[in-house]
A = this chain, B = another copy of it.
C-alpha cells in the first residue's frame, strides 16, 4: 500500500494534466450536435485505461453513446469490484455566466478550495471523479498491489437518463458479475466532515405543454377575452405546491418512507449552518416544506421543481402577443418507496385534473430513476468509511444526498449487487451550473481513498 500511495504522490501533476485532456472535450449528451465529441471522449477514456494496464479494454456500441469497458482479473478467490462512471456532461448554458469558456480547464483557488480547484464543465460531474479510479487503478497495477478483481464501465448517457445502460447491463450480466459497485459521482458534506452517501433520491422528469388559442394572437385585440397559456401554466405551476410547501398532487406522499424522530435527530447532527448555506448562494431566506430542516428537505423528503419554462416572445424589445402555447420542464425528486412510474402517472393525472377546460394539456415523460439506500451495517459501507477515515484522518459519517443516480437501483435489480457511493465533490462545486469546479485536495484524497477501499473490502470478503 505504501508503494501505491508513493506512486500517487509522485505522479500527481501528470494526473491533473491528463484530466485536462478529458475536460477539453465537450461531451454534452443532451445535444445531438456533440455526438462526435462523445465518441472522441470514449476513445480517450479507453486510451487512459490501456495506459493504466487495465485489460480487455473495449468500446461497446449501444443504440446511443458507447460504453467503455475494461477489467483486470487477479484470482477467483478475491472479490470483484465493478467501478462505474460517466464521461458525458451537462450542457454548459447559460454560457455568459462562465468566467472562462467551460471546456478550457484552468486552476484557481476558492474559499472552499484553498489548494486550488479545477474549473471546467464535468470537472466534478463526473470526469474528475471517475478519473480518480483510472489513476488509482494505474497506481495499484503499476506497483503490483491490486487486492481485488476489478471491472470498470464508463457510460456516455448519464445526464440524459442512462437510456441504454440498463439493456446493455442485462445483455452482459455474466461479464459484469461482481460483489459490489463502486461509484464516485456524489459529494461529501465538507472537507472537514467527510461522508459516505448512503441514500439517493429518485427522479421523475416531465415536460408539459399548455395550448390555448390555436395560433398566436395580438394581445390588444384578444387580450382579456381568451385563456392566455402562459397565465394558465403559471396558475397551474403555482398550484402544485401549497403555502406550507407541500406538493398538492393527489397521493404524492402515499408511499413516502416514514423516518423516526430518532433517525431524524441523528441525521441533523450534520449541522447545516443556515447563514453559511444562504450566503453560499446569495439568498437572504430559504423556503420549503414546513416542519423539516434544509438538510431533510434536500434528502429524505420528495420535492418538485420547475427546471425550465418558455412561451411567447422572449427576444429583444417588446412584442404584444398572446402565444398559442406555453411549456415547462418539471422534475420531482423521489424518496424510498416512491417509484418514477407511480409519480409520473400521479403527476399526469393531477395536471390534467387542474387544467381549465378551455385549454389543451400535454404531459411527456422524459426519464426517471428509483431512489436508493445503502444500509450502514453493510461491508460495502464499512470498507468505504474506513478507507476515507484513513485518507482524511477524520471520522466519516453516513449522509443521505438529494441527487439522483438512478442506475444504483438498476444495478441492484440486474446484478444483485449494492453500490457504494464514495464521491468526493463539495456541494458548492457548482455541478450543473456555470463555473463548475472540483478541488485538487478532493481529487487527490479520492485517488488515495480508492486503493484503501480495495484493501479493506478484500479483507472483509475473505
Contacts and interface: CB of A to CB of B under 8 A. Distances in A.
A305 B321 CA distance: 9
Given A218-B431, A320-B432, A433-B217, A224 B288 contact: yes
Nearest to A201: B220
Interface centre among A203, A237, A305 (most CB of B within 10 A): A305
Q: Which of A239, A283, A435 has the most CB of B within 10 A?
A: A283
B221 A427 contact: yes
Contact of A318 (B161, B315, B318, B333): B161
Copies of this chain held together in the complex: 2
A30 interface: yes
Interface stretch (A105-113, A115-123, A293-301, A343-351): A293-301
A199 B284 CA distance: 48
B306 A212 contact: no
Contacts of A235: 234, 237-238
A111 to B, nearest CB: 14
Contacts of A76: none
B220 A402 contact: yes
A315 B223 contact: no
Contacts of A314: 308-310, 327, 329
A216 B432 contact: yes
A356 interface: yes
A240 B327 CA distance: 20
B215 A97 contact: yes
B320 A307 contact: yes
A362 to B, nearest CB: 15
- What are the 7 closest A-B residue pairs judged by CB atoms, nearest first? A214-B282, A224-B303, A285-B358, A220-B403, A308-B312, A30-B317, A213-B281
